[in-house]
Every structure is written in C-alpha cells, then in structure tokens.
Amino acid sequence: MNIKEQKLHQSGTLGIVKSMALSVNITLFVLILLCVTGAQIAQSQDQSPPTSATQSPCTLSPIVVPTLPDKIPGYTELDPETQLHVTGTAQVIDIHSYTLKITGKVPQPLNLKYDDLRCMPAIEARPTLVCPGFFVDTATWAGASLKHVLELADVQEGASHIRLVSADGYAALVTMEKALSDKNFLAYELAGEPIPVIHGFPIRAVFPDMQGNKWVKWLVGIEVQ
C-alpha cells in the first residue's frame, strides 16, 4: 500500500473510492452490452427478408374448381349454362400451380398466383362483349384491377404496349394508354362464381371499351413492351 492509499485507508475513503470505481465499471459494461445487443437486433431486423409482392394478405374462402362440361358447345354457339357464346379451345389449367407472369419492361418478372389476384382491389362490372359479325354478350364479371397489377409490376418508363398471352397460344396487343384505364380488370368470377373453363378459367382479361378479341381467356402472361 503506497502513502496515498494509506492516507485514504486511514480516512476511510479508500473503500468508497473502490466502490465508486466498481460501480463505474459495471455501468460502462452494461452500456457496452446494450449497444452491442442493440446493434445485433438492428442488424437482424435489417436482414429480414422483404415481404414478397405475391403474398396474399387476406383471408379467402376456398373455391370449387370448375370442370369441363360433358358437352362443349361448338365455336360461337351459345352456352346454355351462362347464356354466353363460346370461342376458342378450352384449356384445363391446374389452379394450384397457376401463375400469371408479368414480364418485359419491368424491374423484375412478377409471378402472381390466383389468390394473389383475388386479394387485390376488385372491380365488378356488367360490360357488353362484342364479337363483330358473330354475337353480342352481356354478363357480370369481377376481378383484379389491371391498372393495379401494372403499377405493382412497376412498369418502366417508355413502355407503350402490353401483350396478353393465353395458355392456348393466342395473344392480343393493347396500348399502354388504353390498358391503364380504370375500367379494365383481370376477371376471376362470372356471375359471382369462378369462371367456367370454357369461358377462360382461371383468369380472363376484361376490356369493357374494346372488342372481344382483346378479352383474352386462360390468361397466363402479360408482356410489357
């Protein structure tokens, strides 16, 4: 014990000084521990995977997947079940593996499942489909806003068209200006039920202000051009 410590010891101050030093050290240790722990927590939060754009954020009731009727009406013939005319060759699509792919002039391809579309802002309308020289059909459809889907895909500046692709190989071109109309939607319901297979299940494009050749059935892709 040096002279300084002897004096402190004699005055009873040494114990107090040591206690204060110990208290300071403990406090400093706690602060360092909190800083390290906080940094680790922040880092862990920063590294959390981003929420996928295709995750369904709502609760949906299960659907009854439609099947092909025993007798399929011929081309442009009237379907007695829906009172709509039939065109194209019906495509049977597995709803569990179905994805609508948004590709082309977008930052990265977007894959949307059937339920992703069902969870999006919906439009219900009763437009008239005109197939010049053949028929005129009117029905109530409901589906996801096409404008919302394109906004979700973050379409690149300069894109001028979209190309809608059917599972049967058919495709239709629509200008971006017309595609972004608030009226257009990707239908998943006809008269409150899943669209019948012969009319486009699972998804059919609906363009109320355009002729029937733009109403692509069995929609599997939208290419932004």
Q: What is the pTM of this model?
A: 0.76
pLDDT digits (tens, 9 = 90+) for 128-167: 999 999 999 999 999 999 999 999 999 999 999 999 999 9
Which three-class secondary structure state does DSSP give residue 3? Answer: helix
User: In this predicted model, which residue has the larger pLDDT, 52 or 85?
Assistant: 85
163 φ/ψ sector (left φ>0, alpha ψ -120 to 50, else beta): beta
> The tokens 């010049």 sit on which residue?
132
Domain boundaries, the chain: 3-46, 78-224
- What pLDDT does residue 146 have? 99
pLDDT (average), residues 43-60:
50
User: In this predicted model, which residue has the larger pLDDT, 63 or 26?
Assistant: 63
pLDDT at 120 over 80: yes
CATH class of 78-224: alpha beta
pLDDT (average), residues 198-214:
98
- What pLDDT does residue 1 have? 55
Strand partners, 204: 187
Sequential DSSP letters for 63-87: -------SS---TTPEETTTTEE--
Sequential DSSP letters for 176-222: HHHHT-TT-EEEEEETTEEPPGGGTTT-EEE-TTS-GGGS-SSEEEE
Q: Cβ(122)–Cβ(143) under 8 Å?
A: yes
User: In this predicted model, which residue has the larger pLDDT, 57 or 223?
Assistant: 223
pLDDT digits (tens, 9 = 90+) for 6-46: 444 545 544 443 444 444 344 434 333 333 333 333 333 33
